[in-house]
Structure 1
Amino acid sequence: MSENRANAKKESQGGYIGFVAGMFSGVAKNLVGHPFDTIKVRLQTSENRFKGPLDCVYKTARLEGIRGFYKGCTPPLIGWVVMDAVMLGSLTNYRQCLMETVYSGQEELPLVGHCLAGVGAGWTVSFVAAPIEQIKARLQVQYDPKSRLYSGPINCLSKIVGSSGIRGLYSGLFSTMVFRTNFLFWWGSYEIFTTQLRQHTHLSDVAVNFWSGGLSATVFWVFAYPADVVKQVVMTDSPTSPRHATWAAAVAHVYRTRGWRGFFRGFVPSILRSFPANAAALAAFEFVNTALR
């Protein structure tokens, strides 16, 4: 009887533990990845300002100093904590829900179940991510005091809501959901890497989570990157008189002005960022998740 009670308690704790572990994941990701993210967003949204990633790094450092790489850092510092808590917490609950309903007769959740849970988590976190990422992106593309529209995240939030209402904060929601549909590749490949590393290596659990997290994030970005470019174009558009009325119009604009290569502009810093940032984040998530359980 006491064993059943303990198991029930563990199951009831599963939901909030996933959210708490996700908070630690968000902190780790922001500390490691934000400078790479700034370079990525600048390359994605500028037309002819930079020749490539190294030129962007050089000009940012020369004109703005180290602080330039951390512009827009406050929204993700808070936002990624919230976003990863929602993403990884909902992922945990979607997995549990699928296991208890669709796959109740199986001992473990199959690969397709992990993919479905990943898509569900991606769509869920989009409602949190869309306004946070929009504020971050708008701050990241402020290059000098003359062109600066916002003094900080609160000012940016106030101006967007003042000119376009709450709807303005969610102007990039659809593009965010399209981008995060690719979570099926992330969490599907994460399950594959985790299983293979545990079966064929003698790595510790933390090391397995680190390598699986980094490798699966790389797989995700290979598939998701074009959608991320379109998302950034939508989010940095004018909130009052946007050039792109729809997501499809933004896709057409990128292709018309940059060609197919435009969908991969900024890909190098994104890939360089994806492994260390997400490896650290998922190692932190799994460590805290295991410790709390």
Structure 2
Amino acid sequence: MSVAVKETPATAEVKNYKGFVGGVFSGIAKLSVGHPFDTIKVRLQTTDASRFSGPLECLLQTVRNEGLRGLYKGASPPLVGWMFMDSVMLGSLTVYRRLLRDNIFNPPLHPLHDPKAPLPAHGHGLAGIMAGATVSFVAAPVEHVKARLQIQYAANKSERLYSGPLDCIAKIYRAHGLRGIYHGLSATLLFRSFFFFWWGSYDVFSRWLADSTSLSKPAINFWAGGLSAQVFWLTSYPSDVVKQRIMTDPLGGALGDGTRRFPNWRTAAAAVYRENGAKGYWRGFLPCFLRAFPANAMALVAFEGVMRILP
């Protein structure tokens, strides 16, 4: 929950670092709790129904064939990536909140300026869109590599195209350059525009819980973080399905991974509908929905806790 306070430019500049540091701890918490759910989600999103009948069968097959480590396949890119991504996302969110509050919604020179007036919920939503666009330039290559590693089903490394994240990056770069690494960037930008609903609802839930309950601040962060993450995924999930299809589509050419199917976002979206109808846009939603609450609740507890501790 964000409260507006009167700050000098020097004070605001010093405090900006807190969001970036808090984001590192948020990323660690999110990965530790959420990656197994994410692996199941990506596998369901990118395979047809004949391979897995549902999330439980996908989970059982993964553990039986690849062990528990299979659930953390592709975890090393997001371990580093999510720490950096959440640092950029939450740090920039903190900056954008302050900029919007002080320059758009509550400028100091406005006749109705109130130094105690907080940023409204839709202001938090706009800051979320801006932070989502900013972090997309970090998230797109991280999620691209993660997705390609997650759909390698062979238990034996010698049978996989990529032996690990660095090998994946190197092979894609050699065959397709930087553009290949950033394959899926436009889909990532679209997906993260739904951060409007995440951060707008987080503010609404935080205010309501603070005004209507006697919960502690960490408890408010936990429940508001988990509930707002559910709102985000309910609004954004179909765009995530299309994004994952694009990111796991063969790149072709010198990489030798097959023939590219989706030249743009529209063809990928049409393929999802053609193969499974409207329900195809929600394939894999259950593990994602189950993951969203605990992973993001703990991430927001970690973030807000660090924000309170740091000077």
Give the TM interval when normalised to the shorter protein: over 0.9
Alignment counterpart, residue 81 of structure 1, candidates 66, 80, 83: 83
- State yes or no: 1:113 paired with 2:115: no
Q: Deviations over 1:115-135 (max 9, x none)?
A: 100000111110000000000
Q: Which amino acid in the other structure matches residue 261 of structure 2?
A: R
Secondary structure, aligned partner of 1:238: coil
How does 1:119-130 map onto structure 2 within 5 Å? Answer: 119-130=129-140
Equivalent-residue separation in structure 2 for 1:254 and 1:286 (angstroms): 38
* Number of the residue aligned with 1:24: 25
Q: Could you tell me how far 1:112 is from its partner in structure 2?
A: 1.4
Query: d(CA) in 2 for partners of 1:123 and 1:177?
Result: 6
Q: Select 2:163's aligned residue among 151, 162, 167.
A: 151
Q: Using the TM superposition, give the Cα deviation of residue 8 of structure 1 relative to its aligned residue in structure 2, in angstroms.
A: 5.1
Q: Whole-Å Cα distance in 2 between the matches of residues 135 and 10 of structure 1?
A: 39
Aligned positions of 1:1-293 closer than 5 A: 9-47=10-48, 48-103=50-105, 104=107, 105-106=113-114, 107-144=117-154, 145=156, 148-240=160-252, 241-293=259-311
Q: Which piece of structure 1 moves more, 232-241 or 69-78?
A: 232-241
In structure 2, what is the Cα distance between the partners aligned to 1:264 and 1:45? 12
Q: Which amino acid aligns with 1:191?
A: D
% identical aligned pairs: 56
Q: Deviations over 1:201-220 (max 9, x none)?
A: 00111110011000000110
User: As a proportion of its length, which structure holds more helix?
Assistant: 1
Indicate the SS of the match to 1:26.
Answer: helix
Using the TM superposition, give the Cα deviation of residue 26 of structure 1 relative to its aligned residue in structure 2, in angstroms. Answer: 0.3
1:4-38 CA-to-partner distances (Å, cap 9, x unmatched) read: xx955531222211100000100000011000000
* Paired residue secondary structure (1:101): helix
Conserved? CA contact 1:218–1:271, under 8 Å: yes
| Cα pair 1:24 1:81 within 8 Å, conserved | yes
- Aligned partners of 2:70 and 2:120: how far apart in 1? 44
Compute the TM-score of the two structures, normalised by the length of structure 2: 0.90
Aligned length: 289
Q: Distance in 2 between matches of 1:92 and 1:232?
A: 28
Q: C-alpha separation between the residues in 2 aligned to 1:68 and 1:221?
A: 24
Task: Give the gaps of 5 or more residues in structure 1.
Answer: 1-5
Q: Which runs of 4+ in 1 moved over 4 A?
A: 6-9
Q: Which whole-Å CA distance do the structure 2 matches of 1:239 and 1:159 have between them?
A: 11
RMSD of Structure 2 on Structure 1 (CA): 1.4
Deviation at 1:147, TM superposition (A): 5.3
- Is the Cα contact below 8 Å between 1:225 and 1:267 reproduced in 2? yes
**Which whole-Å deviations, capped at 9, do the CAs of 1:152-182 have from their partners, x for residues lacking one?**
0000000111111000111100100111011
Q: Deviations over 1:91-116 (max 9, x none)?
A: 00000100111022342111111110
Supply the distance in 1 between the matched residues of 2:138 and 2:304 (Cα, whole angstroms). 22
TM-score of the two chains, using structure 1 as the length reference: 0.96
